[in-house]
Amino acid sequence: MYNFSYFKEHEQQAVLELIENHPFAFLTGSDSEGNQVATQIPVLMVERERELYFQGHIMRNTDHHKAFMQNQNGLLVFTGPSCYVSASWYSDPHIGSTWNYMSVHVAGRLNFISNEELIQFMRKLTLKFEKDNAYSPTFYDNLPDHFLNNMLPAIVGFEIKAQKIENVFKLSQNRDDVSYQNIIQKLEEIGGESAQVAAEMRKRR
């Protein structure tokens, strides 16, 4: 991880909001021989007894499923909006350009959960992304039995207790005020993710 103190977000709420707003995480680990595995999945964050846990599901009998059966150490990476920042926008443009981004890394041991816990997780997951609409046809409890009977045996649920949470909120904090304001203006003109990064920068200076 890019480890400079001035690129760290010290407000825990801001870190948790990034996770909550960008739940499609990159899950990576390795098997007992060090072969790396990775997949991208939606993840739910839950708090129990003042500890943070991250729940998800993966396909059964895939390389990542088999790897985590051998080696429980996992890493979840949550990423927010990112954008290119041209050095031509700086008060002194004769240095390298860069990239602004926000990222949170959650490390911990991955434990597989029971079938009943998986069902409870799927209820929470589908309800969350269906905007709490329990009448949605894709809410877990409304799915037909024949679909569930085929789907559930093909997946396995997991939970990771967060042992370490690190972050990088690289938002031009090391630039002078003139450069900082000019970067914001340029990013807002570009729009899209660049404008989202600019909005985050405005919060901080």
Is-contact 48 54, C-beta < 8 A?
no
Distance of alpha carbon 138 from alpha carbon 130, whole angstroms: 8
pLDDT value of position 143: 97
Span 159-176, average pLDDT? 97
In a domain, 86, yes or no: no
CA quadruple 100, 106, 107, 112: dihedral, nearest 10: -140
The domain total for the chain is: 1
Location of structure tokens 């240095």: 95
pLDDT value at 93 more than 90: yes
Please list the alpha-helical segments (H only) found in the chain: 12-21, 63-70, 115-129, 145-151, 177-190, 192-204
Mean pLDDT of 98-105: 98
Per-residue pLDDT at 205: 78
200-205, long-range: CB < 8 A, 24+ apart:
200/80, 200/81, 200/102, 200/169, 200/171, 201/100, 201/171, 201/172, 204/171, 204/173, 205/173, 205/177, 205/180
Expressed as residue numbers, the domain containing 126 is 5-81+99-174
Residue 160 C-beta-side C-alpha neighbours within 13 Å: 28
Tally Cβ neighbours within 10 Å of residue 12.
10
Does residue 123 sit within a domain? yes
Q: What is the pLDDT of residues 48-91, one digit of tens each?
A: 999 999 999 999 999 999 999 999 999 999 999 999 999 999 99
Alpha helices (runs of H) in 46-144, residue ranges in sequence order: 63-70, 115-129
CA dist., res. 188 & res. 197, Å (int): 9
Q: What does pLDDT average to over the chain?
A: 96
The predicted-structure confidence for 19-35, as pLDDT tens digits, reads as follows 999 999 999 999 999 99
Question: Hey, is 101 helix, strand or coil?
Answer: strand
Predicted local distance difference test score (pLDDT) of residue 153:
96
Domain assignment of residue 198, yes or no: no
Q: Is residue 191 part of a domain?
A: no
In-domain check, residue 27: yes
The CATH number of the domain holding residue 133 is 2.30.110.10
180 within some domain: no
Is 194 a domain residue?
no
The answer as to whether 130 is a domain residue is: yes
Does this model's pTM top 0.85?
yes
